[in-house]
Amino acid sequence: MDSTAQTSTEELRVKITQSKLPSEVSEKLLNLIKFPGSSAELASLIAYVNLILTLPFGKYAEDILDIKRAKEILDKNHYGLETVKNRILEYLSVLTLHKQKGEANTFHAPILAFIGLVGTGKTSLAYSIAESLGRPLVRIPFGGLGDPGTLRGQSRMRPESESGLIIKAVSKAKVSNPVILLDEIDRVASEYRVDIMGVLVELLDPAQNMSFTDHYLDFPFDLSQVLFIATANNTGNIATAVMDRLEPIQMPSYSDQEKLFIGKNYLLPKSLDEAGIDRNMIEIDETLWPQIIRPLGFDGGIRSLQRSLQAMSRKLARKIVEGGVGPFKITPENIGEYLA
């Protein structure tokens, strides 16, 4: 072993012995670094050890189980959706009672799955749940997801292998009980659907996810305290075995009246803030809101409305930077300029 390799393995040994890894994991790593192999193998080993050292073994976020606070957060972030919000508050109430009984680590909450059209608030509800609990949230997008190895990791025997998205999410969250959002699980690539659904069954099954094995790690990691939340546009492409482990919550479409309220009181102020514009710099003719709400015809969600208001805010920002003096009035004569 040359001096550089010896220095590298010694640094790894110190990191491993000073960390708070489970004893069986420490022993595994210490045995591996005894014979690091070639320089390429050593570089791979260093990456492997460093990843494991980022995993939050035994580290947990302390849940904030305050139903009044949770309701305030849901009402702040979401207009309407009373049936959905009540279901979430019931869900959090059950978690609270089990924690009060000291059963937080043995109780396995159902996996909420928000089902509905694009723009109906599915993803943002997951963020509100995480905010309510005081847990970090990591989103895993499933749209177009192919090789299940992307989720479960690839064997270190393969060149340039790496851990899967699940383990990466836990590493990023820095706690073993984050909220992991499995976003749009109905949109995986069709040729890989069966295999990916198989991984989801293992992830969502309390009897299996306590010893989830990522092929890159090559040892089980306990995911039993992770709070998984799923979203989907519809359930047609989701395997029955996965649906059996989900508690679907149907997202309603927004009426034009609800969109009007959301646009004025939530989306427009947010878009202006994101663009760095004072909120009193814009005046919109009231008769124009139906056109802003439905730029492309009927839309059950608010995604198109959000994009329209963001586009208006960007154009307003340019006018201000170019020397324009507000407040700027959006009228039937100039609305096309702002929505283009």
**What element of type H or E holds 311?**
helix 303-321
The verdict on 228 and 281 lying in the same domain is no
What DSSP state is assigned to residue 115?
E
pLDDT at site 147:
86
Q: Please return the burial class of 51, using the count of CB atoms within 10 Å of its CB with bins 0-12, 13-18 and 19+.
A: middle
Phi, psi of 67 (to 5 degrees): -65, -40
Does 59 fall in a domain? no
Q: Look over the chain and give the mean of its residue pLDDT values, rounded to a whole number.
A: 89
Got the DSSP string for 145-191?
A: ---THHHH---TTSTT----HHHHHHHHHTSSS-EEEEETGGGS-GG
Range of the domain at 108: 67-250
Instruction: Report d(CA 90, CA 10) in Å as an integer.
Output: 52
Phi, psi of 284 (to 5 degrees): -110, 125
Domain boundary among 204, 228, 250: 250
Instruction: Provide the CATH number for the domain around residue 36.
Output: 1.10.8
Question: What is the tens place of the pLDDT at every residue in 274-333?
Answer: 999 999 899 999 999 988 887 665 666 788 888 889 999 999 999 999 998 878 999 999
Does 217 fall in a domain? yes
Question: What is the tens place of the pLDDT at every residue in 149-164?
Answer: 899 999 888 878 899 9
The verdict on 187 and 325 lying in the same domain is no
The yes-or-no verdict on residue 4 having pLDDT over 60 is: no
Side-chain half-sphere of 271: how many Cα atoms within 13 Å?
23
Does 61 fall in a domain? no
The yes-or-no verdict on residue 1 having pLDDT over 60 is: no
The verdict on 72 and 45 lying in the same domain is no
The verdict on 168 and 231 lying in the same domain is yes
Q: In the numeric block, which tokens belong to residue 319?
A: 């006018």
Instruction: Provide the CATH number for the domain around residue 117.
Output: 3.40.50.300
The verdict on 169 and 312 lying in the same domain is no
